[in-house]
Amino acid sequence: MTSMTITREELIIFALGVTLTMLAYQFVPQQLEEFKYKEYPMDRIAQNKIHVYQDNVVIDIKDLEWSSYADTGSMRPTLGAGHNGLEMVITNKTRLKIGDIVSYQSNIVKDALIVHRIVDIKYDKDGELFILKGDSNNDIDPEEIRRPMLRAVLVAIIY
């Protein structure tokens, strides 16, 4: 029989993962069924970039920004009032995929960033066209979203 040693940090990360998973599945089964077929956001933070200490957590990633979210209802149950996140600034080199949650500067809603999920990516003569939708919205966002409108991609949610 082989013995295995688990470090304190590995145990904390495991416990955090189990807790977040349990919290994520505490909405009603009908909503769970609805979200079951959605694409997941890209995993952008390698485990070796997350350092958990007794008194703090360090994430070794450049260009992260702290973000707070308004409770507009469009991203329930994923985001709401009091939720915070870490967002990575989007550049021309940032790889985006269906399932990613991004913030963008709307041409319709002035002076506000919209935070919605990428549900499709199309290409035309003008380049990438991102189709976005709030998780609890029935319809996709009503405007064409191009890369220059995108500000950041959500990489972590802190409840």
Domain boundaries, the chain: 8-158
152: exposed, middle or buried (Cβ count in 10 Å: 0-12, 13-18, 19+): buried
Question: What is the CATH topology of the domain spanning 8-158?
Answer: Umud Fragment, subunit A (2.10.109)
Beta-strand ranges (E) seen in the chain are 50-52, 57-59, 64-68, 84-89, 101-105, 113-124, 127-133, 150-158
Q: Which residues pair with 67 in a beta bridge?
A: 85
Residue 79 φ/ψ, nearest 5 degrees: -130, 145
Predicted confidence (pLDDT) at residue 154 exceeds the cutoff of 70: yes
Tally Cβ neighbours within 10 Å of residue 40. Answer: 9
What mean pLDDT do residues 62-73 have?
90
- Residue 55 tokens read as 């008194």
Give per-residue pLDDT as tens, 82-133: 899 999 999 999 999 999 999 999 999 888 899 999 999 999 999 999 999 9
Q: Which positions ≥6 away from 57 have C-beta within 8 Å?
A: 50, 51
Predicted confidence (pLDDT) at residue 20 exceeds the cutoff of 80: no
Give the C-alpha separation, 145 to 117, whole Å: 12
81 band by pLDDT with thresholds 50, 70 and 90: confident
Tally Cβ neighbours within 10 Å of residue 135. Answer: 19
* Its pTM surpasses 0.85: no
DSSP summary character for residue 39: P
